[in-house]
């Protein structure tokens, strides 16, 4: 075939494909336009997963009648007009591609009115070509209606998922925007029914409640961190370690309040939870990173989903440290008290959880100020460090749990998890002081390793030695074991090594971290469920647990104790 320039409508369809991948991308672009227009209320209506209809209505500053058709030309934008502005973009949009792209693959109807104008204007386009326009009475703001999406691109439509799957993407998207712009009231209507609303009162915790529900929202910790050198700030929420999910989709990141997807940022958060979460469990987080506009390139992806940082490592460590600091300061004990019932109850904040420090970032009229809202100068809402409560032993239950009484009720402590935590901290501390606590074996023990175990041993040799193992190769997959970690006490040293190798290999697939080795050594050394403990043993275990910095979770992230609050018990017994 000879080389030809594509006809404009075909070129437009191809270009549209980059921006408009699916219904959720249309919603994203339209909502971002509404946010850029300084709206305080955004309503989204979808039908049949967005294919039949998507309508986004806002109360923002609208578009001048004579400029409406320009907005549908490619690269038409009111948001930047120079290279300098492109280098430091403060609005969510800037490419001037969304409206023309959406219009190219749908029937689009826009109605808009600037608040100070008496009348509005309406423009309808079909597959990118204007079909009618003229003045029309309308409320201030803009409504964009997108019908029959991909009606002229049957191939693209075939690639869409079921309408319920497309709907759930849209729900997820809207809720993420509600989290980072709590000053905007969102309403999502799905097939004529209200599916999601956010209060829009600027209180982050209430947005959180609307998105995650009361149980998760109360177990989220407030994060505020700043790197004093770069001034990068991290604000938002991270789940307590007891609150986990089976995948990473519950981590949401914004950079200067632009929703981005970033493996780097997920890793930074996961890193903060090391030693606190079980294998293959992931934390919840909703974090905004504020960084000077010129240090982030938002123009690296057509749908602006990915961003590039000038100082990626600094961003990573700022996020990791901010989250870690909060987790260390407070790992709340899971409580069996029932979650608050009503939607926005005052009781949402238990004592360890001060009400949002984010305060009223509102966006009503004018150009929004993306940079300022989240910081708010109230960083002193840091939570006080919460030591483990002093516990009095009552007895042992099922040879597995220690029943104890504390200041605020009853505690059930898992003896294995508690001992694991104690041992993990001890091994970890000794290892970081380069003082492995070894227990030499009276007789060398030879251990045969499978090729996989041999690989794990070589990969983690330094960590294993640092934690107290001593061994040397003995030819053909065999090793001679000279010493084991002191905490192992008696027991079969060869089996101990094999167990630790297997656990390290299994968990190491997920996180190549030496902590995993320490956790598996602790697990192996810890007393088991089913072992009868004397009262002095229980007292001593609880004392040791209380002395650790993270008494409430074992190194795999399981809780070490469950709390039955006095209030809860009194309610259960009808005493109040």
Note the residues at the interface with ligand ADP (CB under 6 A): 29, 33-34, 37, 58, 60-63, 71, 76-79, 93-99, 142
Is the separation of the CB atoms in 190 and 163 below 8 Å?
Answer: no
| Residue closer to ligand ADP (CB basis): 78 or 470 | 78
From the list Mg ion, ligand ADP, none, partner contacted by residue 415 (C-beta under 5 to 8 A by kind):
none
| Residue closer to ligand ADP (CB basis): 97 or 295 | 97
| Residue closer to ligand ADP (CB basis): 142 or 152 | 142
Q: Which residue is nearest to ligand ADP (CB)?
A: 93
Provide, rounded to whole angstroms, the least separation between the CB of residue 99 and Mg ion: 7
Question: Would you give the distance in Å from CA 134 to the centre of its chain?
Answer: 45
| Residue closer to ligand ADP (CB basis): 102 or 243 | 102
Q: Does 332 bind Mg ion (CB under 5 A)?
A: no
| Residue closer to ligand ADP (CB basis): 299 or 437 | 299
Provide, rounded to whole angstroms, the least separation between the CB of residue 487 and ligand ADP: 60
Dihedral of the CA atoms 44, 49, 52, 54 (nearest 10)? Answer: 20
Provide, rounded to whole angstroms, the least separation between the CB of residue 182 and Mg ion: 21
Among 33, 53, 266, 320, which residue interacts with Mg ion (rule: CB under 5 A)? 33
Q: Helix or strand or coil: residue 560?
A: coil
Kindly identify the residues of this chain, within the stretch 86-115, that bind Mg ion according to CB under 5 A: 93, 98
One symbol per residue from 37 to 76: x for binding Mg ion (CB under 5 A), - otherwise; what is it? ----------------------------------------
| Residue closer to Mg ion (CB basis): 26 or 188 | 26
CA distances from 362 to 85, 90, 139, 233, 258 (A): 24, 17, 21, 20, 16
| Residue closer to ligand ADP (CB basis): 29 or 166 | 29
| DSSP label of 387 | P
Q: Does 406 bind Mg ion (CB under 5 A)?
A: no
Provide, rounded to whole angstroms, the least separation between the CB of residue 91 and Mg ion: 8
List CB contacts of 404: < 8 A, sequence separation 6 or more.
391, 392, 393, 394, 410, 411, 412, 413, 542
Provide, rounded to whole angstroms, the least separation between the CB of residue 105 and ligand ADP: 14
CA distances from 282 to 98, 130, 207, 369 (A): 34, 48, 21, 33
From the list Mg ion, ligand ADP, none, partner contacted by residue 276 (C-beta under 5 to 8 A by kind):
none
Region for 489 from its dihedrals, namely left if φ exceeds 0, alpha if ψ lies in -120 to 50, beta otherwise: left
Number of amino acids touching Mg ion (CB under 5 A): 3
Q: Which residue is nearest to Mg ion (CB)?
A: 93
Record the tokens describing residue 531, joined without a space.
């072992």
Record the tokens describing residue 180, joined without a space.
């980072």
| Residue closer to ligand ADP (CB basis): 60 or 406 | 60
Q: Does 241 bind Mg ion (CB under 5 A)?
A: no
Provide, rounded to whole angstroms, the least separation between the CB of residue 119 and Mg ion: 24
From the list Mg ion, ligand ADP, none, partner contacted by residue 391 (C-beta under 5 to 8 A by kind):
none
Helix or strand run (H / E) with residue 292:
none
φ/ψ of residue 546, rounded to 5: -60, -25
Question: What are 112's strand-pairing partners?
Answer: 121, 142
| Residue closer to Mg ion (CB basis): 85 or 230 | 85
How many helices (H) and strands (E) are present in the chain, helices listed first?
17, 24
| DSSP label of 553 | B
Label each residue of 269-291 as H, E or C.
Answer: HHHHCCCCCCCCCEECEEEEEEC
φ/ψ of residue 177, rounded to 5: -65, -35
Provide, rounded to whole angstroms, the least separation between the CB of residue 77 and ligand ADP: 3
Binding site for Mg ion (CB under 5 A): 33, 93, 98
């Amino acid at each position: 075939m000879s080389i030809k320039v594509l006809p404009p409508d075909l070129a437009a369809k191809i270009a549209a494909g980059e921006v408009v991948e699916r219904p959720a991308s249309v919603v994203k672009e339209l909502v971002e336009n509404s946010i850029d227009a300084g709206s305080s209320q955004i309503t989204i209506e979808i039908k049949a997963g967005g294919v039949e209809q998507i309508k986004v209505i806002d109360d923002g500053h609208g578009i001048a009648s004579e400029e409406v058709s320009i907005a549908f030309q490619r690269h038409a934008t009111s948001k930047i007009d120079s290279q300098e502005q492109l280098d430091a973009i403060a609005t969510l949009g800037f490419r001037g591609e969304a409206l023309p792209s959406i219009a190219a693959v749908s029937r689009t109807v826009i109605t808009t009115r600037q608040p100070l104008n008496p009348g509005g204007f309406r423009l309808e386009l079909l597959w990118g070509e204007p079909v009618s326009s003229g003045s029309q009475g309308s409320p201030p703001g803009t409504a964009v209606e997108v019908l029959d999406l991909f009606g002229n691109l049957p191939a693209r439509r075939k690639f869409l998922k079921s309408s319920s799957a497309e709907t759930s993407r849209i729900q997820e998207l809207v809720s993420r925007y509600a989290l980072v712009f709590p000053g905007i009231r969102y309403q999502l209507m799905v097939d004529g029914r209200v599916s999601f609303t956010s209060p829009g009162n600027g209180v982050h915790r209430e947005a959180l409640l609307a998105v995650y529900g009361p149980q998760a929202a109360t177990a989220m910790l407030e994060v505020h961190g700043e790197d004093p050198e770069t001034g990068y700030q991290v604000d938002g929420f991270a789940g307590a370690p007891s609150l986990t999910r089976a995948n990473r989709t519950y981590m949401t990141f914004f950079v200067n309040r632009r929703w981005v997807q970033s493996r780097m940022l997920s890793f930074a958060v996961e890193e903060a939870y090391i030693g606190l979460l079980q294998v293959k469990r992931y934390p919840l987080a909703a974090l905004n990173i504020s960084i000077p506009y010129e240090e982030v390139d938002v123009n690296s992806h057509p749908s602006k989903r990915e961003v590039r940082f000038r100082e990626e490592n600094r961003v990573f460590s700022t996020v990791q440290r901010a989250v870690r600091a909060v987790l260390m300061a407070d790992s709340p004990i899971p409580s069996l008290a029932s979650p608050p019932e009503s939607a926005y109850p005052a009781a949402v904040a238990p004592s360890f959880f001060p009400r949002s420090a984010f305060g009223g970032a509102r966006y009503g009229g004018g150009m929004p100020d993306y940079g300022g809202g989240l910081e708010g100068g109230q960083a002193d809402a840091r939570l006080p460090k919460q030591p483990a409560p002093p516990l009095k032993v009552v007895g042992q239950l099922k040879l597995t749990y220690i029943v104890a009484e504390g200041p605020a009720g009853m505690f059930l402590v898992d003896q294995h998890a508690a001992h694991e935590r104690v041992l993990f901290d001890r091994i970890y501390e000794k290892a970081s002081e380069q003082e492995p606590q070894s227990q030499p074996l009276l007789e060398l023990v030879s251990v045969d390793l499978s090729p996989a175990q041999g690989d794990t041993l070589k990969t983690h040799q330094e960590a294993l030695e640092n934690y107290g193992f001593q061994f040397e190769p003995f030819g053909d997959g065999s090793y001679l074991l000279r010493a084991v970690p002191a905490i192992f006490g008696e027991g079969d040293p060869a089996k101990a090594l094999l167990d630790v190798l297997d656990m390290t290999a299994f968990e190491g697939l997920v996180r190549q971290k030496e902590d995993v080795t320490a956790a598996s050594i602790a697990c192996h050394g810890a007393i088991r469920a089913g072992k009868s403990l004397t009262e002095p043993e229980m007292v001593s275990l609880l004392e040791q647990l209380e002395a650790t910095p993270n008494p409430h979770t074992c190194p795999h992230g399981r809780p070490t104790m469950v709390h039955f609050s006095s209030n809860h018990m009194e309610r259960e017994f009808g005493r109040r």
